[in-house]
Amino acid sequence: MNRPGQVLEPRSSLGARGVFCSFVTRLALHSRLIPGTEEAYEIEHARVWPELIASMHAAGISDWSIWRSGRDLFHLVDADDFEASVEYLRTDPTDQRWQQHMSQFVEGFAQNPEGVAGQSLRHVWTMSEQID
């Protein structure tokens, strides 16, 4: 089901019975750093805990990228089902430790009641989706 702020992209994988095609949700999030923590935040992300990446994969998140402009962080997330991923990570001990650790740098995620899981930014345009 395609919801506002959700871009579905086909993902294929070769299984034992042939080609399996599913859809991945790609969405954007926005968070903000606490003033003066910009450099420390980037140092923390030079190498994220491998066990956190394993937890994210187990939650159905296949990729997560972050860009920074001043104190603003823009996240691009690819997940099988972002809402289910958030629910999974809410009780994951590794993610709980990471969130507690990162709370010294991040004010929090911007909320968007219209977005997936109440957080995703509104999708406006994607070049590859434009039909002439």
The residues that are catalytic are: 45
The count of residues in the chain is: 132
For 80, the token pair is 């099988």
For 13, the token pair is 């994988």
* Residue 36: partners with Cβ closer than 8 Å, 6 or more residues away: none
CB 23 within 8 A of CB 2: no
